[in-house]
């Protein structure tokens, strides 16, 4: 009985106490929510953040001597494929394979018996034609003396004169046949049409050849002088180029050829497969070091630009659609995406053809954190970097693509 009374009194005491605790807890939570709201409202908004700082480079023009390093191939200055112009058996070969030959040297002897007989027959036909012409002329001479008499009429004289003219024509035809037979006989002895180095002989003595056959008996290549065909990208040809440039060659192993060549011509068409034009240079090759078919590296020098504009390669952005762009900082410290046109690489810079001008500032660091139209804090690039990249008077161009940055088109 006493315990039950105690529990009832305890329940009456705990109910008000529990209410007080819950009330205090509610007040604490309410005050905490207000403090968080005040802290949240006191934090700055994203729009109030400071503009990003980016590193920029001021573009300046400068005189520049350019040297391009391009792939090239050696070709012979003259090539003659030797084919027979008459048919027959090869009786003799006069040359040694791989030797030097001069224009007019004997190469092959084709059996000439049939052609000698043909010439003799043509000469005999010429003699017959000449004899007939003599008879016709004598007949005309006699008829003219007696044309007024009863023995010969005017018609007879006219016929005799016509026969004499026909006989003269037969003589000319016979002479032409003799000349043709003589030419064919001469063709049985094949001679070198040019001077140069002769290749191997495809056929040997005893082989039957035909006139103008598809397979050449051998080939002669003139190696002095020799040509170098250089593959030059079209974009390189868009700058002003002198008509005659000095060309040096780097052979296999890095050895430099001792002779300097001269540009002789530039092709007027573009190879659709490579997008390049052929620039041909002429070299002396007295020692025969350069051989047709060799691949070399050609260095073209002599191009001078009075006002070359170079942009650091880190400032160049390749868009996914292939367009080349850069970010320019305006006078109002806003960035502007600019489409540019660049040429070859000059060290760690690009030669600018279009889209930029002297005095403009381009972003070289911090490109990933800016977008077109953003306001930025421009910071000049370190002076020592500019001195190492721009102040060189002579640079070497390379057709190899430098690593440029690629940004999404959403920037």
Number of Cβ atoms within 10 Å of the Cβ of 309: 23
Using an 8 Å Cβ cutoff, are 399 and 70 in contact?
yes
Average pLDDT over residues 44-50: 59
Number of Cβ atoms within 10 Å of the Cβ of 68: 22
Average pLDDT over residues 91-99: 96
For 164-220, how does the pLDDT look when each residue is reduced to its tens digit (9 = 90+)?
999 999 999 999 999 999 999 999 999 999 999 999 999 999 999 999 999 999 999
For 356-367, how does the pLDDT look when each residue is reduced to its tens digit (9 = 90+)?
999 899 999 888
Average pLDDT over residues 312-330: 89
Average pLDDT over residues 74-90: 97
Compute the chain's Rg from CA coordinates.
Answer: 47
Domain covering 54-67+306-406: architecture: Beta Barrel (2.40)
Per-residue model confidence (pLDDT) at position 220: 97
What band does 29 get if pLDDT is binned at 50, 70 and 90?
Answer: low
For 118-151, how does the pLDDT look when each residue is reduced to its tens digit (9 = 90+)?
999 999 999 999 999 999 999 999 888 888 777 8
Structure tokens at 356: 């930029």
Cα of 142 vs its chain's centroid, Å: 79
Per-residue model confidence (pLDDT) at position 351: 87
**What residues contact residue 196 under an 8 Å CB cut-off, 6+ apart?**
76, 78, 80, 100, 101, 220, 221, 222, 223
Kindly list the domain boundaries of the chain, sorted by start residue: 54-67+306-406, 69-76+222-304, 84-109+190-215, 112-187
Burial letters 262-278, b for 16+ CB under 10 A, else e: ebeeeeeeeeeeeebbb
**Dihedral pair phi/psi, residue 31, rounded to 5°:** -65, -40
| Identity of the highest mean pLDDT range in 11-20, 129-138, 333-342 | 129-138
Give 19-84 as a 3 state SS string: HHHHHHHHHHHHHHHHHHHHHHHHCCCHHHCCCCEEEEEECCEEEEEEEEEEEEEEEEEEEEEECC
Cα–Cα distance measured from residue 367 to residue 378, given in angstroms and rounded to the nearest whole number: 12
3-state SS, residue 143: helix
Per-residue model confidence (pLDDT) at position 110: 97
Using an 8 Å Cβ cutoff, are 209 and 90 in contact?
yes
pLDDT for residue 240 is more than 50: no
- The mean predicted confidence, pLDDT, of the chain is 82
pLDDT for residue 42 is more than 60: no
Per-residue model confidence (pLDDT) at position 164: 93
pLDDT for residue 37 is more than 90: no
Per-residue model confidence (pLDDT) at position 370: 87
| Identity of the highest mean pLDDT range in 1-5, 8-12, 62-66, 389-393 | 62-66
Name the pTM for this structure.
0.64
What band does 386 get if pLDDT is binned at 50, 70 and 90?
Answer: very low
What band does 402 get if pLDDT is binned at 50, 70 and 90?
Answer: very low
pLDDT for residue 278 is more than 70: yes
pLDDT for residue 273 is more than 50: yes
Average pLDDT over residues 262-272: 86
Per-residue model confidence (pLDDT) at position 242: 55
CATH superfamily, with its number, for domain 112-187: Helix hairpin bin (1.10.287.470)
Instruction: State which H helix or E strand residue 384 sits in.
Output: helix 383-390
Instruction: Please tell me the CATH code under which domain 69-76+222-304 is placed.
Output: 2.40.30.170
Structure tokens at 180: 């043709």
Domain 84-109+190-215 fold is OB fold (Dihydrolipoamide Acetyltransferase, E2P) (2.40.50)
């Amino acid at each position: 009985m006493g315990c039950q009374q105690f529990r009832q009194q305890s329940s009456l005491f705990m109910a008000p106490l529990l209410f007080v605790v819950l009330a205090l807890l509610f007040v604490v939570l309410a005050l905490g929510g207000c403090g968080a709201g005040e802290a949240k409202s006191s934090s700055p908004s994203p729009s109030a953040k400071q503009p990003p700082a980016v590193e920029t480079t001021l573009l300046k023009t400068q005189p520049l001597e350019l040297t391009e390093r391009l792939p090239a191939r050696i070709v012979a200055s003259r090539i003659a494929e030797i084919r027979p112009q008459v048919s027959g058996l090869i009786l003799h070969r006069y040359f040694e394979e791989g030797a030097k030959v001069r224009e007019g040297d004997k190469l092959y002897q084709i059996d000439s018996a049939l052609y000698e007989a043909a010439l003799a027959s043509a000469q005999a036909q010429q003699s017959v034609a000449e004899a007939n012409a003599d008879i016709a002329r004598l007949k005309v001479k006699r008829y003219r003396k007696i044309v007024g008499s009863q023995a010969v009429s005017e018609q007879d004289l006219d016929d005799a004169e016509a026969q004499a003219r026909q006989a003269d024509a037969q003589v000319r035809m016979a002479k032409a046949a003799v000349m043709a037979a003589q030419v064919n006989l001469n063709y049985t002895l094949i001679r070198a049409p040019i001077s140069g180095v002769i290749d191997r002989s495809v056929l040997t003595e005893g082989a039957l050849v035909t006139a103008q056959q598809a397979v050449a008996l051998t080939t002669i290549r003139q190696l002095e002088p020799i040509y170098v065909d250089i593959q030059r990208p079209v974009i390189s040809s868009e700058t002003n180029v002198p008509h005659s440039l000095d060309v040096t060659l780097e052979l296999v192993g890095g050895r430099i050829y001792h002779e300097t060549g001269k540009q002789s011509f530039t092709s007027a068409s573009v190879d659709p497969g490579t997008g390049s034009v052929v620039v041909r240079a002429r070299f002396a090759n007295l020692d025969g070091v350069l051989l047709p078919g060799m691949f070399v590296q050609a260095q073209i020098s002599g191009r001078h630009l009075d006002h070359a504009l170079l942009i650091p390669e880190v400032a160049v952005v390749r868009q996914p659609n292939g367009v080349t762009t850069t970010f320019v900082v305006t006078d109002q410290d806003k960035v502007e995406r600019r489409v540019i046109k660049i040429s070859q690489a000059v060290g760690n810079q690009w030669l600018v053809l279009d889209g930029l001008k002297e005095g403009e500032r381009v972003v070289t660091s911090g490109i990933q954190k800016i977008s077109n139209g953003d306001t930025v804090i421009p910071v000049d690039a370190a002076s020592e970097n500019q001195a190492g990249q721009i102040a060189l008077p002579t640079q070497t161009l390379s057709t190899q693509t430098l690593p440029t940055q690629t940004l999404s088109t959403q920037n």
